[in-house]
Structure 1
Amino acid sequence: MESSQANLTCQNLPRILSSFVDTFVDFSASGGLFLPPPTHSSSNNQTVFPSPTRLIAIGDLHGDFQKTKEAFKLAGLINESDKWCGGSTTVVQIGDVLDRGGEELKILYFLEKLKREALKVNGNVITMNGNHEIMNVDFDFRYVTKEGLQEFQDWAMWYCVGNHMKMLCDGVSVVQDLFDGIPFEFRGVKPDVFDGIRTRIAALRPKGPIAERFLAKNQTVIVVGDSVFVHGGLLVKHVEYGFENVNEEVKDWICGLKGRVSRDLVRGRDSVVWLRKFSKELEKDCDCSTLEHVLATIPGAKRMIMGHTIQESGINGVCGNKAIRIDVGMSKGCTNGLPEVLEIDRDKGLRILTSNPLYQNGKEGSLDAKPKDGLGLVLPELGPKQVEVEA
């Protein structure tokens, strides 16, 4: 016994020590989450998914952890302990986890936890890039909050503690200095946020620990059954370029394997994460002919589901429900909207699951509702009120 204990040194246990330190850092930085062991899945590189029995689409979250959990509970995907209970359901979160709120990292860790839990029971949680993920990898922090800066600073503190713990033992690989190459001052930025900005750059720059670990797993365009998912919208040029090419280029950029992605893909007003042609307040202002042309070029596609533009009156559809808009501004950093999610069920069709108390019987409405049904907020012809916010 004494002999075996004497052999338990850092030199022959580097892998165990490294795993323990990583778990300790994750627990500390995530607000107390223990991530299940990762399960191998090819979905990180998958662009087209088969039609599931049940599909849930969740809009922009913007750093509001409480509303995030409310949305998942509304869809029956997590229990009172915040553990996955959605069975084989497929979930698509449409992007914009970052900015406007102070619990961005908690949401990223939470979504990663649910991904691993869902895979164990043949479920699937797919996360996507929104324009705010792209902005942050691009060092555009105009919509970061002070709370968001502090959360990243807290993470960096634990991350550096973990690296120092690993350095105490031989044989444990340690990454380079987290802040390597990052300046200490920034022109036009108040000195009191220098540290927060440095930390955010370190975490989210291409090949940064948070960017590579979480954002690089996101897709930018996907097809699930007969639904196309994208944060802003798609034009024919994007379809012709190829969804696989779009996803691969964005992933490679986030992982530091290539230079900046072209403006046409993720930066211009007509890029896939910024487009608003199908998100205008009134249906008559939406470019339905272009939308129909785009969908016609995607085999089997019946509808495009997008976030990005806040629908203050709730999830709704235009252009014959070929454009479904699911960003309800639920984050306190936006309009503090009531959580809503879109459900596509093989037997029940398209439904809106909502926490809106105006719904008397249950928490659901139909995109095909008529005015007499009292579900006017989902009717395109009524011109649902919207809020278009900067970025």
Structure 2
Amino acid sequence: MEMDSSNLTCRDLPPILSSFVDAFVDFSVSGLFFPNPNPNPSAPPATRLPAPGRLVAIGDLHGDLPKTLQALSLAGLIDPSTNRWTGSATVAVQVGDVLDRGGDELRLLYLLHHLKLQAAADGGALHTIHGNHEIMNVSGNFRYATAAGVDEFRRWALWYRAGLAMKRLCPGVEIPPDPFKGIPKSFPGVKKEFWEGIRARLAALRPDGPIANRFLAGNQTVLLVGDSVFVHGGLLQNHIQYGLEKINEEVRDWVTGLNGRISPVFVRSRDSVVWLRRFSEGWNCDCRQLEGVLELIPGAKRMVMGHTIQEEGINGVCEDRAIRIDVGLSKGCTDGLPEVLEINGGGELRILTSNPLYDRQHKRRRVVEEEKKGLALLVPDSRMEVEVKA
């Protein structure tokens, strides 16, 4: 029996109205439509996942949507004409630092969330892990936020508040807690033109904030997929001894507001899992220490890291036991050419790149120092195969 629309009242509308408003706000902020904007939250991914047939790793994105789309397309994960998932059963891991240094932070969070849903429906998966910049922003440290990034959150706040106002028009609609409650309206030492954006950023990203809860709470801090362990900065023996599952749980509880306002110690110090550079900086890596760390993780053969920009592109040291994949692709960093790492089921490693300076025959990077010198600097070789794409 069809319902007579003339008899509809607010009593009949709460679930429909709430879903409509959420979808309206999402589309207004991101240009993406989520048929079910706020599904029941699924359990966070396990810390250890089985090896897929194809595994792809993507480095730091830092608020650059166009370059991110290039990297995703290079990896064969999206159709560049529609930005829809085309990776089928591929499992992809993005190693953190989606936030800061650019003006597309929210649009990137929405895009990655959208692709996660599509990948899961297609038998694949997209996992994002925490970088130091996610931890900084949840902590309220915005020193690397750009004016464009702050303004993006200001605009988010306008739509979010419009959604709250729409829900309040109909009694019975569940109204979420006001994320702006308790946040100051002025920020001495900050230009007044940025106050609204800073306030919105705090509201959205603080522990239990709507953006933190929706897009960051499901991140792991350390993730083992097959024989590859993914971490933004790096791992030391004390991290393994403390427990990777425990680190993931404590960070997740903090992001969701269950563990106070101060970030857990293992994501806070210089030698923490999101800040460590011991295995990603320079060519004199302590391979013996790295080997000792990997030996403590059953089945792990390599550590895949972001965090430290590799101006020569993705590379491996210690016989490719340490793989560094942050190519500084964001215009807010070094505007590097996108590259991604592919790990096939048999353990074969490949760099997917569009860099025309990559010498396919010798599998070594040619970095031209200065045109007038006409010289090329060849960096140390690795065993990784290379595929150069136009």
> Is the TM-score greater than 0.5?
yes
Distance 1:239 1:44 in 2: 20
**2:374 matched residue in structure 1:** none
CA change 1:377–1:223 in 2 (3 A) is: farther
CA change 1:66–1:265 in 2 (3 A) is: same
Aligned amino acid, residue 93 of structure 1? Q
**1:95 matched residue in structure 2:** 96
Task: Give the match's secondary structure for 2:78.
Answer: coil
TM-superposed CA distance for 1:176, in Å, is 2.9
CA change 1:262–1:107 in 2 (3 A) is: closer
Distance 2:198 2:60 in 1: 23
- What is the TM-score when the length of structure 1 is the normalising length? 0.90
TM-superposed CA distance for 1:177, in Å, is 2.7
CA change 1:222–1:158 in 2 (3 A) is: same
TM-superposed CA distance for 1:191, in Å, is 2.1
Aligned amino acid, residue 274 of structure 1? W
Task: Give the match's secondary structure for 1:305.
Answer: strand
Aligned amino acid, residue 228 of structure 1? V
Q: Per-residue displacement from partner, 1:170-191 (whole Å, max 9, x unpaired)?
A: 1101123331101122232222
Q: 2:312 touches 2:379 (CA, 8 Å); kept in 1?
A: no
Distance 1:22 1:340 in 2: 35
Q: Per-residue displacement from partner, 1:242-268 (whole Å, max 9, x unpaired)?
A: 111111111110100112566640010
CA change 1:348–1:161 in 2 (3 A) is: same
TM-superposed CA distance for 1:126, in Å, is 0.3
Q: 2:363 touches 2:381 (CA, 8 Å); kept in 1?
A: no
How much is the aligned-residue C-alpha RMSD, in angstroms? Answer: 2.1
Q: 1:316 touches 1:377 (CA, 8 Å); kept in 2?
A: no
TM-superposed CA distance for 1:34, in Å, is 1.2
Distance 2:43 2:227 in 1: 18
Q: 1:58 touches 1:341 (CA, 8 Å); kept in 2?
A: yes
Task: Give the match's secondary structure for 2:163.
Answer: helix
Task: Give the match's secondary structure for 1:320.
Answer: coil
**1:281 matched residue in structure 2:** 282
**1:244 matched residue in structure 2:** 245
Q: Per-residue displacement from partner, 1:86-141 (whole Å, max 9, x unpaired)?
A: 10000000000000000000000000000011111110000111000000011100
Q: 2:357 touches 2:365 (CA, 8 Å); kept in 1?
A: no
**2:309 matched residue in structure 1:** 310
Distance 1:3 1:67 in 2: 49
Aligned amino acid, residue 34 of structure 1? F
- What is the TM-score when the length of structure 2 is the normalising length? 0.90
Q: Per-residue displacement from partner, 1:67-95 (whole Å, max 9, x unpaired)?
A: 11100000111112110111000000000
Task: Give the match's secondary structure for 2:356.
Answer: coil
**2:53 matched residue in structure 1:** 53
Task: Give the match's secondary structure for 2:18.
Answer: helix
Q: 1:316 touches 1:380 (CA, 8 Å); kept in 2?
A: no
Unaligned runs of 5+ in 2: 368-377, 383-390
Task: Give the match's secondary structure for 1:373.
Answer: coil
Distance 2:336 2:67 in 1: 9
Tell me the matched-pair count.
370
Q: Per-residue displacement from partner, 1:5-35 (whole Å, max 9, x unpaired)?
A: 23322211200110000000000001x1112
**1:184 matched residue in structure 2:** 185
1:381 aligns with 2:370: no
Q: Superposition pairs for residues 15-30 of structure 1, below 5 Å? A: 15-30=15-30
Unaligned runs of 5+ in 1: 366-371, 384-391
Aligned amino acid, residue 373 of structure 1? H
1:10 aligns with 2:37: no
Aligned amino acid, residue 272 of structure 1? V
Distance 1:268 1:215 in 2: 20
Task: Give the match's secondary structure for 2:230.
Answer: strand
Distance 1:377 1:221 in 2: 33
Q: 1:311 touches 1:328 (CA, 8 Å); kept in 2?
A: yes
Q: Superposition pairs for residues 159-308 of structure 1, below 5 Å? A: 159-260=160-261, 264-282=265-283, 284=284, 286-308=285-307
**1:157 matched residue in structure 2:** 158
CA change 1:5–1:339 in 2 (3 A) is: same
Q: 2:91 touches 2:126 (CA, 8 Å); kept in 1?
A: yes
Residue identity over aligned pairs, in percent, reads 61
Q: Per-residue displacement from partner, 1:319-338 (whole Å, max 9, x unpaired)?
A: 11110000000000000000
Q: Per-residue displacement from partner, 1:205-232 (whole Å, max 9, x unpaired)?
A: 1100100110101110010000000000
Distance 1:347 1:301 in 2: 14
Q: Per-residue displacement from partner, 1:312-358 (whole Å, max 9, x unpaired)?
A: 11000011111000000000000000000000012571000011123
CA change 1:132–1:7 in 2 (3 A) is: same
Q: 2:139 touches 2:262 (CA, 8 Å); kept in 1?
A: no
Task: Give the match's secondary structure for 2:56.
Answer: strand
Distance 1:300 1:348 in 2: 12
Q: 2:207 touches 2:261 (CA, 8 Å); kept in 1?
A: no
CA change 1:300–1:40 in 2 (3 A) is: farther
TM-superposed CA distance for 1:380, in Å, is 6.6
Task: Give the match's secondary structure for 1:343.
Answer: strand
Task: Give the match's secondary structure for 1:217.
Answer: coil
Q: 1:88 touches 1:121 (CA, 8 Å); kept in 2?
A: yes
Distance 1:115 1:327 in 2: 21
Aligned amino acid, residue 375 of structure 1? R
Q: 1:211 touches 1:255 (CA, 8 Å); kept in 2?
A: yes
Distance 2:343 2:14 in 1: 47
**2:370 matched residue in structure 1:** none
Distance 2:44 2:63 in 1: 23
